[in-house]
């Protein structure tokens, strides 16, 4: 997972808890998940357009 191991993930989690507090983390996770899903959908929609038009020289 992006080259991160358990100690690094735990350190990131502790930093997030200190910065935002426990009550804000679910909202941040939801927003991040929605953003990633939107990005993936956009990539899937853009991919067929790229394959139809080959590059010209």
Q: Judge whether 10 lies within some domain.
A: no
Q: Judge whether 54 lies within some domain.
A: no
Q: Judge whether 7 lies within some domain.
A: no
Q: Judge whether 8 lies within some domain.
A: no
Q: Which two tokens stand for residue 31?
A: 């927003």
pLDDT at 54 exceeding the cut of 70 = no
pLDDT confidence band for 36 (50 / 70 / 90)? very high
Q: Judge whether 55 lies within some domain.
A: no
Mean pLDDT of the region 2-16:
88
**Distance (Å, whole) CA 11 – CA 15:** 6
Q: Judge whether 43 lies within some domain.
A: yes
Q: What is the tally of structural domains in the chain?
A: 1
**Distance (Å, whole) CA 9 – CA 15:** 10
Mean pLDDT of the region 12-26:
88
Percent of the chain residues past pLDDT 70, beyond the cut: 79
Q: Judge whether 6 lies within some domain.
A: no
Asked whether 25 and 16 are in contact (CB, 8 A), the reply is yes
The whole domain housing 34 covers 17-49
């Amino acid at each position: 997972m992006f080259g991160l191991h358990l100690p690094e993930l735990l350190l990131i989690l502790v930093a997030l808890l200190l910065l935002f507090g426990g009550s804000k983390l679910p909202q941040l996770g939801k927003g991040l998940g929605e953003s990633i899903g939107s990005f993936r959908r956009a990539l899937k929609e853009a991919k067929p357009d790229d394959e139809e038009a080959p590059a010209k020289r």
